[in-house]
Amino acid sequence: MTQTRSSLLAAAFLIAGVGMAHAHASLETDTATSERSFKAVIQIPHGCDGKPTTEVQVKLPEGFVFAKPQPKAGWELEIIKGDYQKTYDNHGKPVSAGPLEIRWKGGNLSDEHYDTFLISGRISGFDKQTTIAFPVTQLCGTDAQVVWDQIPAEGQNAHALEHPAPSLTVMPADASGEHDHMAAMAGMAVTPAAEGTPVTVGDLEISGGAVKAMLPGAKVGGGGFSIRNDGAHADRLISVESPAAGRVELHEMTMENDVMKMRKLDDGIAIPAGGTVELTTGGLHLMFMEVAKPFAAGETVPVTLTFEKAGKIDYVLPVGAAGGSGHKHK
């Protein structure tokens, strides 16, 4: 289970009994393409061992340039500038210095509340797939802080770290990458590496799953995936959207008196703390309604998931064969 560590600003402020929190700071979107604009949305899910967050500090990685933070009501904004390690082109003008750290100060974000802090900038200078980190420090008054600065070694799972830094996977700007992105948005086939790759948002990891291939002329399709909650607090999947369907509904299939019944879940699907929820045929599942082009085996379907606490995350589901354990939906 992912955990955070409450540490102290100085030994003089040592407090007995400081506990462990569980949800970690993260990026709302964890993939981007080089040579494009990018909005780094830092998600702050809790304070320091129950104390409200009063300052958020974000260090910017090399390659995230020309940064502009979004002001927040009730917070003072501080921008720390310095030299970049390289020189970057800004519309024909060479730039070698800019913001290196952003600080929102003097706020009061309750431990029970969730908020985001946005920095707009540009990803530049990457000619191969690279992971970059945005180390975050939360200050809670004058006696406590939470630091998210650990960066996984090559091949290491970030979930193995106690306090991982929010990280971003950057893809090089090339023709094939652009083609894959557009194909995924259109529900077409893309390279297998993009299909079902686990993604994380807040304390949640979304993995596996698929959608069923549809018969010609069909307008309704079904599918699902797995959601694991590594946090100490429950969350809820409240909606799913996809450019491949007019709407996506959350459904449940149950047996009542030997009769199979299905119902739409208007209140969403609860994700218990420390638990895993499977959306699959025969139980909880997704229903893709008003599908313009029936899903075909070998293609993929992009979806955007919205959680009550963790926020939004994009995911790509592969299309499996029709039949088998698929269900009929009326």
Q: Where along the chain do the CATH 2.60.40.1890 domains lie?
A: 179-320
Strands 31-33 and 167-171: parallel
| Confidence grade of residue 322 (pLDDT, cut at 50, 70, 90) | low
| Confidence grade of residue 327 (pLDDT, cut at 50, 70, 90) | very low
Q: How many CB atoms lie within 10 A of CB 129?
A: 12
- Average pLDDT, integer, range 12-36: 64
pLDDT for the residue 68: 95
Q: What pTM was estimated for this model as a whole?
A: 0.50
302-324 burial: b if 16+ Cβ within 10 Å, else e: bbebbbebbbebbbbbbbbebee
Q: Which residues contact 145 (CB under 8 A, 6 or more apart)?
A: 6, 7, 8, 9, 48, 137, 138, 139
Q: Which residues contact 1 (CB under 8 A, 6 or more apart)?
A: 22, 230, 231, 274
Q: Where along the chain do the CATH 2.60.40.2230 domains lie?
A: 4-173
What is the CA 122 to chain-centroid distance, rounded?
Answer: 19
Rounded to an integer, what distance in angstroms lies between the CA atom of residue 175 and that of residue 186?
17
CATH of domain 4-173: 2.60.40.2230
Q: Average pLDDT of the chain? A: 82
DSSP 235-250: EEEEEEE-TTEEEEEE
E strands of 177-291, at which residues? 199-201, 204-212, 221-229, 235-241, 245-256, 259-264, 269-271, 276-278, 284-291
Q: How many CB atoms lie within 10 A of CB 284?
A: 19
Q: Which of 299, 303, 283 is nearest to 212 (CA)?
A: 299
pLDDT for the residue 235: 95
CATH of domain 179-320: 2.60.40.1890
